[in-house]
Amino acid sequence: MLQIQGLRVETGGKEILHGVDLFIGAGETHALFGPNGSGKTTLLMAIMGFPRYKITGGRIIFRGQDITRASLDERARLGIGMSFQRPPVLRGVRTKDMVSACLGGREDGEVVARMSERLNMGDLLEREINYGFSGGEIKRSELLQLLAQGPDLSLLDEPESGVDLVNIALIGEMINELLEKDLKRNRKRSGLIITHTGHILDYVNAGKGYVLLNGRITCERDAHECLDSIKKRGYEGCVECLK
Amino acid sequence: MSEVSASRKNRELAQKALEKKPALGEDIDLSAYSSTAEEHRYQSDPARLPSKEKDNMLKVGVSLDDRSQRAGTFVQIDRSVVHTSASQDGVEVMSVTKALETYSWLEDYWWRAVSVDTDKFTARAELDLDNGYFIRSLPGAKVVYPVQACLYIAHKNLAQKVHNIIIAEEDSELHIITGCATRPMHASGLHIGISEFYIKRGAKLTFTMIHNWAPEVAVRPRSGAIIEENGVFLSNYVSMKPVRSLQMYPVARCAGEKAIVRFNSVLVAPPGSNLDTGSRVLLDAKGARAEIVARTITTGGAITARGHIAGSAPDVKGHLECRGLILSDKGVIHAIPELKGNLAGVDLSHEAAVGKIAEEEVEYLMARGLTRNEATAMIVRGFLRVDIEGLPPELAAELEHAIELSEKDLF
């Protein structure tokens, strides 16, 4: 699904990623760990194609196609989607307008209506997008948009942050739906999840885990083992892992 | 026709003000315009008007083929009133000259909310009036459907001068949609429109005005409103088509306790357009409230967006909001919000923001698969979305429709 080779990325004139390699197969979900400032969000933004994150070296291959030079919206239409940590407020644009934009003309209104009901979206659909939203409301709205968009690869930036313990199960359920986790076979959808606490992994099953440290991947192993190791030995302990 | 309306005093004041330059906006040489136009025949059924004119009127919310959703209709082309009718009890619709003949008391309302010697435009309207409309809801009447009025310029280079009087009597409810348009043409024209609104005790008036002028037309509305105790005045204004020069600054005065005023405007200035508009509210009575919201877009033209709320009575509250979007390097938006309080108990606030569309917002939508153009269009559509509290659904739909029609020209 996604193959990254020697990716170097700079933003604000400073190189943040110094050659990252990554491979996510179809139907797989991987987790990305790392301390603040290690470059996790930069990696997601670069995969998504935000112009502020300039790719200075390496390649991104998505479903066999080199998308290193593809624009943000081209990548979205090819099947990459992202949930935002701090999305902007769009005055006058309602959440439901965003959802229909994500559907891109596909007649999936019923599915979305059913989903939003299950997600306790309530009046959120009628409200101006992200205007006065709580942390939890942002997460739910972001995931609802992604569900409508239906990308083959979902990039999720800390989906559990700011969500209380009751709602985290709900968020987990949405992500499982998004990544077709109910399918045991022929699952196509893949995901890359940034998580600080690892809480989301109690609800969403992830295969591989990576630790990103100072712009380099320093550990690559089973996601749960990776998390246990970080808990025991800290991020620095992971440096030993790849040696 | 002015002889039927003018008291000697008004005439004298007007004579003196004939050369008086306007306080704001470009001065206009009135002698450059024609004061005469061919007569247009009265139609008892306005559906008989030429379909080309009807289409132009429909674009500003005036529906002549199907009037089932309207409580009354007034149509004036150039200087001629070509149709008036009222189809609901409790509402009166007629030409203002006929109303002056019918009601002697109307003299008391003539130039009470707007001064006759404001400037050369008011003076000229007094001395050389073409006509205008009189719309009134009787005491206690709840007029369900909106009354529609159209002021239309068909004659090239005409200076059209109208004086409108709108009265919502005590405890009545009235909705008006006014559409102003020209026959599409390249020649110039001038519209001078005096409008005086009287909202009596406990009455509610919503007034929605859609302008659809032409690139060479100059427009000078002069409007004033007086709102009595517990009265509500909601005024919505939309101008999204090219217009050479538009200057207006309507003033609403809350004269009675707990009177409420809300001004909403949506303005677009394409290249070559110069718009100097604003709304002013005088909170002169205890507990009165005002809200002014302006949304402005330039695609190359110039906009001055003014707003002024003055609080001079206890417990008054006012808020002014002006947001401007610059969609072209050549456009200018100048927001001038003003607040004046001269009492400890007033609560006045404003917020103003002018700028281009934030790149972050465009990228957010592009990450959902929209192209840059689609993303920009969606943000602009949201910006222009008017959610007006208290607006009846028919009017809200007309407003939305008018905005949608013009939106297409923005990109």
And the tokens for A149? 């968009």
Structure-token match 């008989």, residue found: B48
- Is A12 in CB contact (< 8 Å) with chain B? no
- Is B353 in CB contact (< 8 Å) with chain A? no
pLDDT > 70? residue B186 = no
Give the pLDDT score at A227.
86
Structural domains of chain A, count:
1
Give the pLDDT score at B169.
98
Mean pLDDT along residues B25-33: 93
Residue B369: list chain A partners with CB under 8 A: 73, 76-77, 101-102, 104, 149
pLDDT > 90? residue A152 = yes
pLDDT > 90? residue B395 = no
Give the pLDDT score at A240.
67
Contact A91 B378 (CB under 8 A): no
pLDDT > 60? residue B1 = no
pLDDT in tens, B364-387: 999 999 999 999 989 998 888 876
Contact A93 B381 (CB under 8 A): yes
pLDDT in tens, B90-129: 999 999 999 999 999 999 999 999 999 999 999 999 999 9
Taking CA–CA distances from A78, the nearest residue in chain B reads B369
Taking CA–CA distances from B374, the nearest residue in chain A reads A101
Where are the domains positioned within chain B?
2-357, 358-411
Give the pLDDT score at B107.
93
Interface test with B, best of A53, A73, A96 (most B CBs within 10 A): A73
- Is A154 in CB contact (< 8 Å) with chain B? no
Interface test with B, best of A45, A93, A95, A98 (most B CBs within 10 A): A93
Taking CA–CA distances from B376, the nearest residue in chain A reads A90
- Is A76 in CB contact (< 8 Å) with chain B? yes
Q: How far apart (Å, rounded) are the C-alpha atoms in residues B121 and A65?
A: 68
Q: Of all residues in chain A, what percent carry a pLDDT higher than 70?
A: 95
Give the number of residues written for chain B: 411
pLDDT > 70? residue A130 = yes
Give the ranges where B77-231 is alpha helix by DSSP (H). 96-102, 120-127
CA-wise closest residue to B180 among B172, B195, B169, B191: B191
pLDDT in tens, B268-295: 999 999 999 999 999 999 999 999 999 9
Which segment, A88-102, A179-193, B73-87, is predicted with the most confidence on average?
A: B73-87
Taking CA–CA distances from A48, the nearest residue in chain B reads B367
How wide is the angle at C-alpha B242 spanned by C-alphas B411 and B50, nearest 5°? 105
ipTM: 0.93
Give the pLDDT score at A113.
73
Give the ranges where chain A is alpha helix by DSSP (H). 40-48, 72-78, 95-103, 109-118, 135-149, 165-178, 223-237
Q: How far apart (Å, rounded) are the C-alpha atoms in residues B18 and B248?
A: 18
Q: How far apart (Å, rounded) are the C-alpha atoms in residues A47 and A34?
A: 17
What 8-state DSSP symbol labels residue A200?
A: G
CA-wise closest residue to A81 among A1, A143, A159: A143
Mean pLDDT along residues B207-235: 94
Chain B: give the shortest CA distance to residue A233, in Å.
37
Taking CA–CA distances from A87, the nearest residue in chain B reads B364
Confidence of residue A226 (pLDDT cuts 50, 70, 90): confident
- Is A70 in CB contact (< 8 Å) with chain B? no
Give the pLDDT score at B2.
47
Q: Of all residues in chain B, what percent carry a pLDDT higher than 90?
A: 80
- Is B357 in CB contact (< 8 Å) with chain A? no
Q: What secondary structure does DSSP assign to A123-192, as a single string?
A: GGGGSBTTTT--HHHHHHHHHHHHHHH--SEEEEE-TTTT--HHHHHHHHHHHHHHTTTT-SSS---EEE
Give the number of residues written for chain A: 243
Q: How far apart (Å, rounded) are the C-alpha atoms in residues B96 and B199?
A: 18
- Is B388 in CB contact (< 8 Å) with chain A? no
Which segment, B96-100, B179-183, B214-218, is predicted with the most confidence on average?
A: B96-100
Of B369, B378, B384, the CB nearest to A104: B369
Give the pLDDT score at A241.
63
Domain that holds residue A107: 2-240
Q: How far apart (Å, rounded) are the C-alpha atoms in residues B337 and B101?
A: 42
pLDDT > 90? residue A61 = yes
Contact B369 A72 (CB under 8 A): no
Contact A97 B361 (CB under 8 A): no
Identify any residues that bridge with A102 across adjacent strands, giving them in sequence order: none
Q: How far apart (Å, rounded) are the C-alpha atoms in residues A152 and A191?
A: 8
Contact A73 B367 (CB under 8 A): yes
The answer to whether A180 and A164 are in contact (CB under 8 A) is no
Q: How far apart (Å, rounded) are the C-alpha atoms in residues B170 and B200?
A: 5
User: Largest Cα–Cα distance of chain A, in whole Å?
Assistant: 53
pLDDT in tens, A182-214: 877 788 899 999 998 888 888 888 888 998 988
The answer to whether B83 and B204 are in contact (CB under 8 A) is no
The answer to whether A206 and A223 are in contact (CB under 8 A) is yes
Specify the CATH number for the domain of residue A146: 3.40.50.300
- Is B371 in CB contact (< 8 Å) with chain A? yes
Q: Residue B334: which region, alpha, beta or left (left: phi > 0; alpha: psi -120 to 50)?
A: beta
Chain A: give the shortest CA distance to residue B411, in Å.
18
Interface test with B, best of A82, A90, A129 (most B CBs within 10 A): A90
Q: How far apart (Å, rounded) are the C-alpha atoms in residues A155 and B135?
A: 60
Give the pLDDT score at B6.
54
CA-wise closest residue to B308 among B323, B324, B320: B320
pLDDT > 70? residue B320 = yes
Phi/psi of residue A209, nearest 5 degrees: -130, 150
Chain B: give the shortest CA distance to residue A94, in Å.
8
